[in-house]
Amino acid sequence: MLLAVLVLLLAVGGVFHLAGQLAGQGEAADRLWDVDGALGAVYALWTVVDALRHRRLGVDVIALFALVGALAVGESLAAAVVSVMLATGRALEDWSAGRARRDLRALLERAPRRAHRYRGDQLETIVLEEVCPGDLLMVATGELVPVDGRLTTPAVLDESTLSGEALPVARQPADGVRSGAANAGAPFDLRATATSADSTYAGIVRLVASAEAAQPPFVRLADRYALAFLGVTAAAASVAWLVGGAARAVAVLVVATPCPLILAAPVAFVAGLSVAARRGVVVKGGAVLERLARCTTVLFDKTGTLTSGHPRLASVVASPGADPDDVLALAAAVDQFSPHVLAGPLVRAATDAGRSLARPEGLEEVPGLGIRGRIDGHAVAVGSARWAGVRDIPVWARSAQRRARLDGALTVFVAVDGGLAGVLVFEDPVRSDAARTLRALRGSGVERIVMVTGDREEVAEAVGAVLGLDAVVAERSPSDKLQVVMDEQRRAPTIMVGDGVNDAPALAAADVGVAMGARGATASSEAADVVLGVDRLDRLREGRRIAARTRRIALQSVLAGMALSLVAMVVAAAGHLPPVWGALLQEGIDVAVILNALRALRPLRPEVALDPVAVELSRRFRAEHQEVQRVADRVRTVGDGLDRRSPGTGLRTLRELHRELVEVVLPHEAAEDKELYPFLDRAIGGTNPTGPMSREHAEIAHQVRRLGQLLDDVGDDGLDEEDVADARRLLYGLGAVLRLHNAQEEESYLTEAAETADAASDGRPAPH
């Protein structure tokens, strides 16, 4: 409102001035401009007093002196212009920070409001505040656990918002559960052990509130230079006063008006915010953008941040004599109508393997245990060991469980006609862009990268080892995560990246909180300073690039404006620049620095520019990677089960695998060498940058040939003990090279190029 009033007074004064010039009088214009300048001076005085109350002193002091001085010597127009510039700078700053206010609305909206309590044999619905420790409650399917308590019946819980664990967990009677977890299974009963105010979810809300309140005030970039500039201005004006009187001192003050400081930095940061938003990075204010460029420590949550957050079928371990593909097809057929979180990945894996799914009959599902039905006359059960009817888990299944536990994976048992047929292993894979993003962050000045998660330590350590993190902090509650952030802040400015309700306190407390907003909890987006609107971790790196460039341009504009003003002050102090010409020169300086600040509007240049042919080839080969990855997963599965099969079945499975390697994998690798890599070499530059990848192609082909030679040597006689050992060594080595090679290609070329192609197809800007 103040800006609108000041602009109106300046404009109307200009009209009166032109009319007065024609009529030979201009007093009305001067009076309007005096009012304009006086309002600006009052506002500047108020901002100076407010800054002093917070023990800060900024650019507004210079503006106040310039306004008072201009009014004192009758430079009404100069005073009006300075007032408008001052109000415009503050308005831009406030607008850019309009979304910076973080509140608890999403947390409060998600919080349970009511509970279902047993009164005798009846069930009543009460407000949450009426729940007392000892009350027996019922939690319906899909509802949040209202208070902390202990189970009296089995339950399946989605605890991802609290612990970060992506997979549902089965809890047994007498197990403790925390408020905020979601019921992912059938209704269950709960004995309350705390009131709503003392429960976990309410504690998270309080943590977010206290963390926000503890955020230190941020010093604006322009204010850091204001004191030095103020001293120089005061000295120059004093010298001018002594040498040439008050008029010359006012001339110095007019050209010293800090419009570059007031306007240049906000304009640059508003431009940077706009560029970031076009790339799906919502930054809540210019101060946040500046902090983002200055942070040197990054903390990451695990689930949904460094990992995909979606379960994936990693392998099928079949019983001796059973075919893994048959086990997969039967399990998927039973699970194809289940709403369970693991059903989708299971069915998708079966269809990707080319298996048609029969229609099940007599389906029975018990949440937390499993599902069973009949497929083509066979009784199939998928779920826990107890549900599958397994009392004594055989050695091969225990081995699969142990490997899954070490890898941080989940196992599901499959029984056919009462016998254990196989074990399904599900994992939460690391994001394909995670390693590339972390390397790029280190290259941009990040010195320390830490993962802090509520997941189990062995799972977290495995992810940390793959990504090369500086530290891994596991099994942490929301309050523990908050403490980790505070500890890291004592070392360096810190970014926290997360996506769940359990991350909200840490996001609010960090110097910059970054939420994976595309799939993450709304509460984390509310608590964060930056929201990644697309489900791509590498947007964090892009956001930092935009922030660093924006800060650099803002700093250039501020310093250039100050330098030009200092030169003009010297000229004015020497008596060679009257106030009127000084005001005009100052306006020219203002325009120059604002135009320079607007350079921040330009999109970032791609770090690697791919031509359209390379982009389309990358897109094609990335699609083929899904089939190659399926074969790579099968290599390990066949190796795991090779010594448990009958000789004839094992040899047949090995020959089928070799045929897939020859018909699927080797042609794909050869086509990459011939068609894709030459384009990538030209785009990346240097001396044969894809050479190491071609060398891996040669190693894969060599290992496939060795497997073929082994099969030729064996002939039709079957596999003896020595043959099995040789074959397993070959398969494990080949599987490791294949998985590593596929991951490297995804990280280095294919994910980024496919995104470029997708962006071009729907008119979006290409990734950088």
Active site residues: 301
The residue written with tokens 């102090």 in the block is 573
Would you say 295 and 494 are in contact if contact means Cβ atoms under 8 Å apart?
Answer: yes
The number of CA neighbours under 13 Å toward the Cβ of 638 is 30
Question: What separation, in Å, do the N-terminal and C-terminal C-alpha atoms of the chain show?
Answer: 39
Is residue 222 within 8 Å of 59, Cβ to Cβ?
yes
Query: Locate tokens 């089995």: which residue?
Result: 154
Three-state SS for 552?
Answer: helix
Neighbouring CB atoms inside 10 A of 363's CB total: 14
Cβ contact 612:283 at 8 Å:
no
Q: Which segments within 418-572 are labelled E, that is strand?
A: 419-427, 448-452, 471-473, 494-498, 512-516, 530-532
Give yes or no for a contact between 590 and 255, defined as CB atoms under 8 angstroms apart. no
Q: Return d(Cα 278, Cα 766) in angstroms, integer.
A: 11
Q: How far apart are CA 545 and CA 721, in angstroms?
A: 57
How far apart CA 168 and CA 339 sit, in angstroms, is 13
Could you please report the per-residue DSSP string of 559-590? HHHHHHHHHHHHHHHTT-S-HHHHHHHHHHHH
Copy the structure tokens of residue 350.
């079966």
CA distance 470 to 540: 18
Helix (H) or strand (E) holding 35, with range, is helix 27-53
Alpha-helical segments (H) within 280-369: 286-294, 324-335, 343-352
Tokens of 304: 């949904």
Contact 415, 318 (CB under 8 A): no
Give kind and range of the element (H or E) at residue 557: helix 538-573
Q: Of 642, 623, 621, 615, nearest to 725 (Cα)?
A: 642
Q: What DSSP state is assigned to residue 302?
A: I
666 residue type, one letter: L
Q: Which amino acid is located at 377 in the chain?
A: G
* Matching residue, tokens 């523990």: 480
User: Is the backbone of residue 283 left (phi > 0), alpha (psi -120 to 50) or beta?
Assistant: beta
How distant, in Å, are the alpha carbons of 91, 190, 711 from that of 324? 65, 40, 21
Helix (H, G, I), strand (E, B) or coil at 113: coil
Total residue length of the chain: 768
- Whole-number Å distance between alpha carbons of 727 and 531: 49
Grouping H, G, I as helix, E, B as strand and the rest as coil, residue 331 is helix
Q: In what order do the strands lie in the sheet with 182-183?
A: 169-171, 155-158, 182-183
Which two three-digit tokens encode residue 317? 């371990």
134 residue type, one letter: G
Question: Cβ contacts of residue 57 below 8 Å, gap of 6+?
Answer: 48, 51, 223, 226, 227, 230
Residue of 551, 526, 353, 557 lying closest to 445 (CA atoms): 551
Note whether 389 and 381 are within 8 A (CB): yes
Tokens 């039967």 belong to which residue? Answer: 330
